[in-house]
C-alpha cells in the first residue's frame, strides 16, 4: 500500500465517521428535540408528540399512577377523615401576571395563600393557577366523573410549605397538592371571572403576558361551604414530565361560566397560530389505585331511590 492509498483510505474512514455522527445527531434531534403537544395539535407530519407519545420524551408519562383519571362514583371509597380543607389567605387580593405559555393560560402566585386539613401532611402553598379547556365550551376538562367530561378545569398548584419551587417539590412523592375545579356552562356570565377573561384578549400569542389587578383566590372558587365534597387520589402532573408526586383533590361542585366566557379561552393561540383548544390529557388507567370521597351523602344516589325512600317513610309514619 502506497502512502497516497493509505491516506485516501483514512480520509474515507474519517468522512464515514463524520457522516454517521451527523446522521446520529439528526436522529437524536428528532426524538429528543420533539416537543410535546395535545391531541388537538397532532397532524400527519408529526411535528410534535401527542399524549400517546409523551412517554418517548418523559418515561414517567408511561407510569402506573398517572393523571387525570375518570372518577367512577360507584367505585369510590367514602372516607370520614377527609374533612373540609382549611384555606388560609385565600381571601387576600394580590397582583399577578397571566401568561400564555404555549400550552395554557397560567397565573403566577406568591405562595401566600395556603391550604391544610383533609388529610394533607402539612401546609401547602399556592404557586400557580392554570386551566384546561375544550373548544368554545365543548368538553375539555381533564378529570371526568362517570365518563362525563366538563367544558373546563382549573388547577391551583400547591407545594409543601418547606419547598421553594414546584421543581423542588416534585422530588417528594407527596410534595405537590393540586386542587381541581370543574366548570359547567350556565346562562348568565360570572362577574367574578371578568378580570381573567378580559385579560385573555391580551395574551393571544405564546410568550405574551399581562397583569391582573386585585384578584383573590376566593373570587375564583365556590364558597368554602360548597367544597366539602371532593375526590382524593394519588397521581401525577398531567403534562410532561408527568411526575408522580401529586395529591389530587377534585371538587364535586362546579364553577359556572357562560358559553361566551368559556369560549374566550379558545381565542388563545398555540405556537403555530392555531386556536389553543383541547388542552387536556385523556384519562389514564387507574391501575388498582383507590379513589376516596370525602362524604357519605346522597349526592350520587339515584333520585328515584330517594323519592321512594321518602315516600315509604311517609307512608309508614301515616300507617
Minimum distance from residue 111 beta carbon to ligand NAG (Å) = 8
Q: Cα–Cα distance between 156 and 114 in angstroms, integer?
A: 11
Q: Are 178 and 73 in contact (CB under 8 A)?
A: no
Give me 303's grid cell. Answer: 333520585
CA angle centred on 206, ends 25 and 57, rounded to 5°: 35
Q: Which of 34, 53, 166, 205 binds ligand NAG (CB under 6 A)?
A: 205
Give me 152's grid cell. Answer: 373546563
- The residue (of 155 and 160) whose beta carbon lies closer to Zn ion is 155
* E strands, the chain, in order: 35-36, 48-49, 70-71, 77-78, 86-88, 94-100, 105-108, 114-116, 124-133, 144-145, 148-149, 152-160, 176-186, 209-215, 230-235, 246-251, 255-258, 292-293
Q: Catalytic site residue 103?
A: yes
User: Dihedral of CA 153/159/165/171: which sign?
Assistant: negative
* Residue 171: C-alpha distances to residues 60, 216, 242 (Å): 13, 29, 12
Q: Which of 11, 15, 24, 97 binds ligand NAG (CB under 6 A)?
A: 97
224 binds, among Zn ion, ligand NAG, none (CB under 5 to 8 A by kind): none
Minimum distance from residue 138 beta carbon to Zn ion (Å) = 18
Q: Which of 40, 73, 89, 108 binds ligand NAG (CB under 6 A)?
A: 108
- The residue (of 202 and 297) whose beta carbon lies closer to ligand NAG is 202
- Find the part of the chain contacting ligand NAG (CB under 6 A) among 131-139, 201-209, 263-271, 301-309: 201-209
If binding is defined by CB under 6 A, does position 207 make contact with ligand NAG? yes
- The residue (of 59 and 207) whose beta carbon lies closer to ligand NAG is 207
CA angle centred on 164, ends 126 and 240, rounded to 5°: 75
- Find the part of the chain contacting ligand NAG (CB under 6 A) among 21-29, 103-111, 139-147, 244-252: 103-111
Closest CB to Zn ion: residue number? 155
Give me 110's grid cell. Answer: 406568591
Radius of gyration of the chain from Cα atoms? Answer: 25
User: Helices marked H in 225-286 — which ranges?
Assistant: 259-264
- The residue (of 96 and 236) whose beta carbon lies closer to ligand NAG is 96
For the window 137-166, what string marks contact with Zn ion as x by the rule CB under 5 A?
Answer: ------------------x-----------
238 HSE (CA, 13 A, CB side): 29
If binding is defined by CB under 6 A, does position 216 make contact with ligand NAG? no
CA angle centred on 252, ends 313 and 191, rounded to 5°: 115
Q: Which of 61, 109, 247, 254 binds ligand NAG (CB under 6 A)?
A: 109
97 binds, among ligand NAG, Zn ion, none (CB under 5 to 8 A by kind): ligand NAG
Q: Cα–Cα distance between 36 and 61 in angstroms, integer?
A: 11
If binding is defined by CB under 6 A, does position 94 make contact with ligand NAG? yes
- The residue (of 208 and 216) whose beta carbon lies closer to ligand NAG is 208
Q: Which of 103, 130, 132, 155 is catalytic?
A: 103
- The residue (of 33 and 206) whose beta carbon lies closer to Zn ion is 206
Q: How many residues bind ligand NAG (CB under 6 A)?
A: 10
Residues that bind ligand NAG (CB under 6 A): 94, 96-97, 108-110, 202, 205, 207-208
Active site residues per annotation: 103
Residues that bind Zn ion (CB under 5 A): 155
Amino acid at each position: 500500500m502506497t502512502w497516497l492509498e493509505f491516506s485516501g483510505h483514512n480520509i474515507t474512514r474519517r468522512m464515514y465517521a463524520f457522516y454517521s455522527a451527523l446522521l446520529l445527531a439528526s436522529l437524536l434531534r428528532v426524538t429528543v428535540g420533539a416537543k410535546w403537544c395535545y391531541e388537538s395539535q397532532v397532524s400527519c407530519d408529526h411535528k410534535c408528540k401527542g399524549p400517546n407519545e409523551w412517554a418517548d420524551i418523559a418515561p414517567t408519562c408511561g407510569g402506573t399512577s398517572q393523571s387525570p383519571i375518570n372518577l367512577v362514583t360507584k367505585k369510590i371509597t367514602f372516607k370520614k377523615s377527609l374533612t373540609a380543607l382549611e384555606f388560609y389567605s385565600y381571601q387576600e387580593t394580590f397582583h399577578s401576571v397571566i401568561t400564555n405559555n404555549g400550552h395554557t393560560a397560567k397565573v403566577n402566585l406568591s405562595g401566600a395563600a395556603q391550604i391544610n386539613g383533609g388529610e394533607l401532611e402539612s401546609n401547602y402553598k399556592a404557586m400557580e393557577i392554570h386551566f384546561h379547556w375544550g373548544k368554545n365550551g365543548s368538553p375539555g376538562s381533564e378529570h371526568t366523573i362517570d365518563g362525563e367530561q366538563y367544558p373546563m378545569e382549573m388547577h391551583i398548584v400547591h407545594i409543601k410549605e418547606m419547598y421553594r419551587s414546584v421543581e423542588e417539590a416534585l422530588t417528594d412523592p407527596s410534595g405537590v397538592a393540586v386542587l381541581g375545579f370543574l366548570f359547567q356552562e350556565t346562562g348568565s356570565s360570572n362577574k367574578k371571572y371578568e378580570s381573567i377573561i378580559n385579560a385573555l384578549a391580551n395574551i393571544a400569542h405564546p410568550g405574551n403576558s399581562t397583569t391582573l389587578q386585585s384578584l383573590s383566590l376566593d373570587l375564583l372558587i365556590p364558597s368554602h361551604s360548597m367544597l366539602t365534597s371532593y375526590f382524593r387520589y394519588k397521581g401525577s402532573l398531567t403534562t410532561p414530565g408527568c411526575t408522580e408526586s401529586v395529591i389530587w383533590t377534585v371538587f364535586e361542585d362546579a364553577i359556572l361560566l357562560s358559553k361566551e366566557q368559556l369560549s374566550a379561552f379558545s381565542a388563545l393561540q398555540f405556537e403555530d397560530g392555531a386556536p389553543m383548544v383541547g388542552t387536556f390529557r385523556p384519562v389514564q388507567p387507574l391501575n388498582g389505585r383507590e379513589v376516596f370521597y370525602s362524604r357519605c351523602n346522597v349526592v350520587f344516589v339515584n333520585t328515584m331511590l330517594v323519592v321512594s325512600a321518602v315516600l315509604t317513610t311517609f307512608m309508614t309514619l301515616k300507617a
